[in-house]
């Protein structure tokens, strides 16, 4: 009897040790708000007011699985799978030709971590997503995406078929390198992507810088977010010549400082899309950019985005938010630059550590380009007002 009890105790100890060596956690966010927008473009060519229930106003609704296994000697195996969904409909969030149903479209990585840093392989965001914590994305999230943070990748745009290396924190500095495979036989550069980033944290000060570049075409391009389609797919003989050419180049510089209860921040981004020429856009059916209807921010040759903002903790539970975003866009064959300015005000009240209520109001004004709007374009109308009231729960 004593031997049996001893054997059970030993087995229990081994089982406990084995369990302690690895762990898997489930997490998620459900974010939904009621949104009003004025002057949304209608199918008839005019504009009208729009009310809607939007999923992911601040952060995209998601469910994720994260795991780590201790391999010994300070080395660990890690993985992260994250699926996005639309809480207002229950459907999967987004899809594209290269990822099919996109079950884990937000993140799908596996790798190793240790004293050397972390190496991850799969579908993942570049380092711009990390330094977005120093920008309005930290407070307003997706509410600022159309103002420019979606184009400069601060919203966390993903790279397929990628491998990344991130250093550990060294004296406040963290660095990152990323490479995305184009996976096209005979032409390595077609569809490939690469990025680099650096951040510095020292008490209340946060600084960050990133660069990202992606090449056109490829059978399985690393960057599937390029707009228009002329940058990612070969549809005609004219566009075939663009394989391996740089389609997107993006730079970000961000800074944030905590003054007691107030965080103040500012940033600058530049995006160049060399293939967004009049010839390429016309080939894909866009038409002349001399028409205001075609001057979308995503079709610009070059865009500069500037932002200043603050988040003030009125109480431990209540934050008051403000940010101004200004964009200047250049279009091929069009003299002058399109301009757009967005003014954001908001409040965020935390009912608990995991649940908060938020309210945002924005006013967007554009000239010589299509107003991107908050969630929906306004067409050729120069201004739009938008309001959102919602709830976010993290688990």
Helix, coil or strand: residue 9: helix
Residue 145 to residues 24, 94, 134, 321, Cα–Cα distance (Å): 32, 16, 15, 16
Looking at residue 102, its pLDDT comes to 75
Candidates 256, 304, 318; CA nearest to 130 is 256
- Ranking 18-27, 149-158, 201-210, 348-357 by mean pLDDT, the lowest is 18-27
Residue 144 to residues 84, 200, 386, Cα–Cα distance (Å): 19, 24, 12
Identify the band that residue 243 occupies on the pLDDT scale cut at 50, 70 and 90. Answer: confident
Looking at residue 3, its pLDDT comes to 44
Candidates 295, 294, 372, 322; CA nearest to 39 is 372
Selected residue with higher pLDDT from 99 and 316: 316
CATH number of this structure's domain 24-394:
2.40.160.10
Cis? peptide before 228, omega within 30° of 0: yes
Looking at residue 293, its pLDDT comes to 83
Tens of pLDDT, residues 198-228: 999 999 999 999 999 999 877 788 887 764 4
Mean pLDDT over 111-125 rounds to 97
Mean pLDDT over 114-143 rounds to 97
Whether the predicted model's global pTM rises above the 0.85 cut:
yes
Residue 151 scores a pLDDT above 80: yes
Helix, coil or strand: residue 141: helix
- Ranking 224-238, 308-322, 332-346, 355-369 by mean pLDDT, the lowest is 224-238
């Amino acid at each position: 009897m004593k031997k049996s009890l001893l054997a059970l105790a030993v087995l229990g100890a081994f089982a406990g040790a084995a369990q302690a060596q690895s762990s898997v956690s489930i997490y998620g966010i459900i974010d939904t708000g009621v949104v009003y927008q004025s002057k949304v473009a209608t199918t008839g060519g005019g504009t009208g007011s729009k009310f809607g229930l939007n999923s992911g106003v601040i952060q995209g609704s998601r469910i994720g699985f994260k795991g780590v296994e201790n391999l010994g000697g300070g080395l660990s195996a890690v993985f992260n799978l994250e699926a996005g969904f639309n809480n207002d409909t229950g459907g999967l969030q987004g899809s594209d030709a290269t990822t099919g149903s996109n079950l884990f479209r937000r993140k799908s990585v596996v790798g190793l971590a240790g004293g050397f840093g972390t190496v991850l392989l799969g579908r993942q965001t570049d380092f711009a997503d990390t330094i977005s914590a120093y920008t309005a994305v930290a407070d307003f999230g997706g509410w600022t995406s159309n103002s420019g943070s979606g184009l400069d990748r601060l919203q966390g745009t993903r790279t397929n078929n990628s491998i990344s290396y991130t250093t550990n924190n060294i004296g406040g500095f963290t660095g990152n390198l990323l490479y995305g495979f184009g996976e096209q036989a005979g032409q390595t550069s077609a569809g490939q992507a690469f990025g680099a980033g650096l951040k510095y944290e020292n008490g209340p000060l946060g600084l960050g810088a990133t660069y990202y570049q992606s090449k056109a075409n490829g059978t399985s391009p690393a960057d599937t977010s390029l707009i228009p389609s002329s940058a990612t797919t070969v549809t005609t003989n004219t566009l075939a010549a663009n394989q391996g050419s740089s389609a997107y180049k993006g730079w970000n510089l961000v800074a944030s400082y905590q003054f007691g209860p107030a965080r103040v921040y500012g940033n600058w981004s530049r995006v160049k899309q060399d293939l967004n020429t009049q010839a390429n856009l016309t080939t894909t059916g866009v038409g002349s950019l001399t028409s205001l209807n075609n001057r979308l921010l995503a079709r610009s040759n070059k865009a500069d985005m500037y932002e200043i903002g603050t988040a003030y903790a009125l109480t431990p539970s209540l934050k008051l938010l403000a940010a101004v975003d200004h964009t200047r866009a250049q279009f091929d064959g069009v003299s002058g630059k399109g301009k757009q300015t967005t003014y954001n005000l908001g409040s965020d009240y935390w009912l608990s550590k995991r649940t908060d209520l938020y309210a945002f109001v924005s006013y967007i004004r554009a000239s010589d380009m299509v107003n991107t709007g908050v969630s929906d374009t306004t067409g050729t109308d120069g201004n739009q007002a938008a309001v959102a009231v919602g709830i976010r729960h993290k688990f």
